[in-house]
């Protein structure tokens, strides 16, 4: 959970920068931009917090308040991060679940573009940024030899990362297990081979 929140926070922090330097026009006539506010600072802060409460969804009525914040897609960041973490931190034998997770994620991204909530480039850049942040963070976190050899440099250049990963010794073991036996949820490991012994058939 700690790594999940850090990676999502990094991706959204970079999104704040791209929103400032890249402003795109609305994606369709169904988007109604809110009027510019000249009220107090508190009212402006309230508008800034509203998308977080409503998750930026049109159903909550918050999406219509903001315009131009397309580069890049925040919904894609959340979907990709969840899918990457699900694939990374669940047993490798749950291939069917992994396949369904990626199919669901792909369908979600397709419908984001099909509903004209984002441009295609917004979704593509969000996918690339999220994947790179995820891979870079885990590569650095799993390279303990580099951290031990260059511990002073890590403390100076990456103090927050050093604080988070100081007590993590190598790759986090995947100990996630289902509390019940359900063979149909994973691919078969191959046919069983039986042979005959003196006491009968054994596996």
CB distance 71 to 124 below 8 Å: no
122 is catalytic: yes
**Strand, coil or helix: what is 169?**
coil
Closest C-alpha among 109, 87, 97 to residue 174: 87
30, 32, 69, 75: the active-site residue:
75
30, 98, 122, 138: the active-site residue:
122
Q: Which residues make Cβ contacts (< 8 Å) with residue 150, sequence separation at least 6? A: none
Where helices occur in the chain by DSSP H, the ranges are: 2-21, 41-53, 74-88, 95-114, 120-142, 144-149, 151-157, 159-165
Give kind and range of the element (H or E) at residue 202.
strand 200-202
Closest C-alpha among 120, 105, 101 to residue 24: 120
75 is catalytic: yes
30, 69, 98, 118: the active-site residue:
118
Active site residues: 75, 118, 122
């Amino acid at each position: 959970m700690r790594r999940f929140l850090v990676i999502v926070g990094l991706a959204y922090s970079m999104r704040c920068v791209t929103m400032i330097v890249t402003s795109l026009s609305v994606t369709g006539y169904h988007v109604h931009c809110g009027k510019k506010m000249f009220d107090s600072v508190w009212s402006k802060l309230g508008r800034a917090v509203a998308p977080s409460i409503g998750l930026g969804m049109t159903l909550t009525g918050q999406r219509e308040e903001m315009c131009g914040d397309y580069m890049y897609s925040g919904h894609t960041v959340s979907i990709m991060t969840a899918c990457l973490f699900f694939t990374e931190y669940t047993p490798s034998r749950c291939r069917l679940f992994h396949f369904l997770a990626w199919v669901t994620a792909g369908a979600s991204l397709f419908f984001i573009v099909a509903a004209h909530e984002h441009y295609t480039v917004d979704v593509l850049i969000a996918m690339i940024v999220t994947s790179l942040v995820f891979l870079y963070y885990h590569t650095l976190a799993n390279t303990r030899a580099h951290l031990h050899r260059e511990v002073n440099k890590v403390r100076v250049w990456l103090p927050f990362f050093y604080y988070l990963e100081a007590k993590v010794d190598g790759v986090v073991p995947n100990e996630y297990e289902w509390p019940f036996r359900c063979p149909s949820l994973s691919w078969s490991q191959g046919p069983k081979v039986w042979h005959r012994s003196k006491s009968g058939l054994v596996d």
